A and B are shown apart, each in its own frame.
Chain A
Amino acid sequence: MAEVRAEMVANVWKVVAAEGDTVDEGDTLVILESMKMEIPVLAEDPGVVAQLRVKEGDVVQEGDVIAVIDE
């Protein structure tokens, strides 16, 4: 179980992955919008997306869990 957390305060602009998806290290899970930049949130380890805790339009704070990856 690896938690993927937000590195900064941001809006959730796009949710790319879905729960149950198999992802590789470096795959984009969601795209955040902050500082007028579209910032992808990447899977740090390969595995299956067990949980996606955000939806488009949400505001995430630094440290919030965005997704949980089952290795």
Chain B
Amino acid sequence: MTVLDNRVVSPASETEAVDPRDPQVRLAALLDEGSVRPITPEDKSGVRAAMGRVEGVPVVVFCSDARFQGGAMGSEGCEHIVHAYDVAVRERVPVIGIWHSGGARLAEGVESLHAVGRVFAAMTKASGVVPQLSVVVGPAAGGAAYGPALTDIVILADQGRIFVTGPDVVRSVTGEVIDMAALGGPEPHSKRSGVVHVVTKTESEALLQARRLAVLLGHQGRIRAAEVEDIDFSDLLPESARRAYDVKPLVKGLLDEPGVELHAKWAPNIVTTLGRLGGRTVGVIANNPMRLGGCLDATSAEKAARFVRMCDAFGVPLVVLVDVPGYLPGVGQEHDGVVRRGAKLLHAFAEASVPRVTLITRKAYGGAYIAMNSRSLGATKVFAWPTAEVAVMGAVAAVRVLKRRELAAATEEERPALEARLAEEHEKVSGDLGRAVDLGVIDEVIEPATTRSAVAKVLAQATPARGAHGNIPL
């Protein structure tokens, strides 16, 4: 970490100030000391590429050279990027792009458009083959916006800006007055657009996160189940089953050390984090009851689906923590395509080849139960804590439908007590864990205090596999 910080800031003793936009500075800051090996010439193409290492893990990196035409992409620079992709795919190593570019070179006209299109094609062909990371450290407009967008993970530094058309064009066409940061800076992209996975306060922190992710995806390791120590998670759930709580401490506790959360502020009702369990890279997906009660909705289903498909493409096993009251009801949701976008999550899990363990911590209702890596979608193992409940809907809501006539026949005074009694009876029959275990939709009821070892054991014994598909940015 200190290595990075020292290198981005130029030493005070140097007489000639180092241009922070110099790709050599950025490549040196990203890669292990002394590991940078250029694979493109020093030219004015606006792009530099190199091979190097991150904590010893080999990677290919290309970097905009914003000293020339603001890093705009011409045919020569685009050829360098395509070359970097060829090398990364041949070597089967992650490829990291550092972006600071105004888009296609205007002076080159259609030639530059053709070249930028070839970059997109190279990225798409490499999708799901090698991990692709993007670090946006300056403006990334037009073609330079869609480049990162085609990759698996986009990291945005404080000075990074991503947009198709800048504030001037927006103003002249729509009359909307907005600055670059409000249009395509960290605020809108972390919370509203979902374009960016990780936002950082500085460029050096952005490069550091890229290093962490490159190692997580590029060197996944093997799970050492015997070394996994258990933690008692029972205190993490509130006493009342109705009470919301933050699921992040559970995610953190499950992992060996804090992982990298992707899309932390976008669709926060579901948490997607890459980290390690027993030394092996895993992807954790968890409903967060603190936000929207943990309901699935159109956006969170889409976010989770993309994460599942990315992990599957690179052979990263999944751990799914379920506490979900259902799909979010509402006109807005239906009209936003909760059916179409929710279907992406069903598709992603049902398609996944990687080992994937589900743990139902508290409740799993209805369609959302199915969507959260249920047995029916092919979960490797489904665990439940003793307090868990699995049902089509909550017991009270269920008896209001099933026992409608009986309830209607009762007097107003009798009705609440009758409803409560019927709900209790219904819960015994349908929400009971024993029945779910008998049916085989839950394999085993485990204690919170044995969760880490139980999950690690399943993942250690599962046959490694990865999906044969790309990672379309859903």
Identify the A interface with B (CB < 8 A): 7-9, 34-40, 42, 62
Contact = CB atoms under 8 A, between A and B. Distances in A.
A38 B326 CA distance: 15
A39 B288 CA distance: 11
A38 B396 CA distance: 16
Given A8-B330, A62-B330, A62-B332, A36 B292 contact: no
B280 to A, nearest CB: 32
16 contacts: A7-B292, A8-B293, A8-B328, A35-B293, A35-B295, A35-B328, A35-B329, A36-B242, A36-B396, A37-B244, A37-B293, A38-B243, A39-B289, A39-B292, A39-B293, A62-B330
A37 B332 contact: no
B150 to A, nearest CB: 30
Contacts, number: 41
B118 interface: no
B293 A40 contact: no
Contacts of A38: 240, 242-244
B328 A36 contact: no
B330 A37 contact: no
A8 B240 CA distance: 21
A35 B244 contact: no
Chain B interface bracket (under 10, 10 to 19, 20 to 34, 35 or more): 20 to 34
Given A7-B292, A9-B330, A62-B330, A36 B244 contact: no
B371 to A, nearest CB: 16
A38 B289 CA distance: 9
Contacts of B243: 37-38
Contacts of B293: 8, 34-35, 37, 39
B291 A36 contact: no
A36 B332 contact: no
Contacts of A42: 290
Nearest to B289: A37
Interface string B242-271: 111000000000000000000000000000
A40 B396 CA distance: 22
Interface in B442-460: none
Given A36-B325, A36-B394, A39-B290, 17 more contacts: A7-B292, A8-B328, A8-B330, A9-B330, A35-B326, A35-B329, A36-B396, A37-B242, A37-B294, A38-B240, A38-B243, A38-B244, A39-B244, A39-B292, A39-B293, A42-B290, A62-B330
